[in-house]
Amino acid sequence: VEKVFPLQIKKMLTGCKSSDLGFSLLLVALLTLGTFMIGSKLQLLKSLSVRVVSLPVSLIQREDGSMEKELEELRRSRPKPPVGGDFTFSDCFYFTRRGIESIIEDEVTQRFTSEELVSWNLLTRTSNDFHYISLKLTLVYGLGIFVRYCILAPLRITLAFIGLSWLVIGTSAVGLLPNWRVKSWLSEWVHIMCYRICARGLSAAIQYHNRENKPKKGGICVANHTSPIDIVILCNDGCYAMVGQVHGGLMGVVQRAMVRCCPHVWFERAEMKDRHLVTKRLKDHVNDKTKLPILIFPEGTCVNNTSVMMFKKGSFEIGGTIYPVAIKYDLKFGDAFWNSSKYSMVSYLLRMMTSWALVCNVWYLPAMHQQEGEDAVQFANRVKSAIAHQGGLVDLQWDGGLKRAKVKATFKEQQQKKYSTLVVRDDSGSNSD
C-alpha cells in the first residue's frame, strides 16, 4: 500500500483522527488491491499478445506557444514580402488545426464533465479500459456496494438530516435574542457545529494549510468552485456570511432561518439584475468590520476541479481585502464535482453519500489588495492565477457561463483583431485597420 499510494498514506497519518485512521487505511488497501488486479490483468493480456487500447487522459496535446509564435513557425520557409501585408495561405493551416482540435476536445466543455480516473476506484464511474477483470475484484466491488449503500449511506443521511434540522432550529432560536455580543458568539457556534455535523455526514477528511491566512472580519473570501459542498468544507473551519439569491422550498426555509441570526446577504431575483444595488449592499457589509467575511465564488458556476475559469469582476470592485482560498479534492475517494445539467441537487448529494469519502485540501493564501493603476479585471486575474498555482489547477481565461451560453461576439472579435495586427501592416511596421 505504501508503494502505490505513498502520498495518501502520509496525508492520513498527519491529517486524520485516530478513529478514522483504521477505516482510511483499509480503504486505501482495497483501492490498492483493485489497482494491482487491473495491472496484473493488463500484463496478462500483453503476454498473450492481445492488443489493449489505453485511453489517454487528454486526446489533444496542445502547445503552449502563442498565435504569433506558431504562425512564425509556419512562415519560416516563406520569404517575407517586400511590400504590402503579411498574409499567406499557410496561415490557414494554423486555424484549421485549431478548429479541428476544438471540435475533438475543446478547453471549455471538458471542464464541465467528471474527470476520468486512470485506475478504477471501485465506484460506479469505472475505468474506460476495463469492465470485467476477475471474480475476486467483482466480489470486492460487491462488498464495497454493500458497505457504501447499506452501512455508510444510512448513517450519513441521518447525520445530514440532524445537521440541517439543527441548523434551522438553532439559528431560529438564536435569532430571537437581542443584538448583543452573546448573540454573535452563539450564531457562530451554531453554524460551525451544524456544518461539522454535515461534514461528518459526507465522511469529509479535510486538511487545512496556512491557517494564519484565514479570512478576517470585514474581508472577502474568494475560492474556486467545484460544488455546493465547498461551503461545508470552508465553514467547517470558520464562519462566513453567504451571498446568494433567495430560493423557495427547503432551501428557502434554511435561508430564512440563517439570516435571522447572521448577516447573510440574500437577494431577490429582481435585485440580482441591479448591479449597483448588489455592489452597494456588499460594500455596506464589508465596511462594517464587526461582520463576518463574505464568501464568494467568482466563477459563478461549478468546474470539475481541474482548472479555474474566469473570475467575475464584481467581487473585486467592492474595494475590500481579498482572501484567496484554493480547494483541491482527491478524486480517488469520490468525485465532488456537481454537474448541474445532469444531476439534481438531491441525486448529487446521494451520490456523494454513497461514495467512499470526501478527501480534500484547503490552502489559505495571503491577503491581496488591489494595486495602484490596476483595474478590477486585472486584480481578479491576479487572484485567480494565485489560486490556480497553489491548487495545482489550470488557469483558464474562459467564462464559466459558456456552460449554458454561446460564445460572446467579443471573444471572436478579440481573436480577429489579434490576427489582423499580424497581417495588416504598412511598410513602416505600424498597424492599420
SS3 call for 122: coil
What pLDDT, on the 0 to 100 scale, is given for residue 418? 77
DSSP-assigned states of every residue in 335-404 = -----TTT--HHHHHHHHHTSS-EEEEEEEPPPB-PPTT--HHHHHHHHHHHHHHHHT-EE--S-GGGGT
* Alpha-carbon span 380 to 310, nearest angstrom: 8
The per-residue pLDDT for 199 is 92
Q: Where are the beta strands (DSSP E) in 201-283?
A: 204-209, 220-223, 241-245, 265-267
Q: What is the pLDDT of residue 215?
A: 93
Terminal-to-terminal C-alpha distance of the chain: 63
CB 225 within 8 A of CB 301: yes
Would you state the pLDDT for residue 282?
Answer: 84
Q: What is the pLDDT along the chain (433 residues), one digit of tens a residue?
A: 444 444 444 444 444 454 455 556 666 666 666 666 665 555 544 544 444 344 444 556 666 667 777 777 766 666 555 554 566 777 777 788 778 877 777 777 778 887 777 667 777 654 444 456 677 777 878 888 898 999 999 999 999 999 989 988 988 888 888 877 788 888 889 999 999 999 999 888 899 999 999 999 889 999 999 998 999 999 999 899 888 777 777 777 888 888 888 888 887 766 666 677 778 888 888 888 888 899 999 988 889 888 999 998 888 888 889 999 999 998 888 888 988 888 888 888 888 999 888 989 999 999 999 888 889 999 999 999 999 999 999 898 888 877 777 777 777 788 788 777 777 654 444 444 4
Q: Could you identify the residue written with the cell 485597420? A: 433
DSSP, res 150: I
Q: What is the DSSP letter of 111?
A: G
Question: What is the structure's pLDDT at 55?
Answer: 42
The reported pLDDT for the residue numbered 38 is 60
Tens-digit pLDDT profile for residues 96-108: 877 887 777 777 7
Residue 253: CB atoms within 10 Å: 14
Residues 261-296: tens digit of each pLDDT = 888 888 776 666 667 777 888 888 888 888 889 999
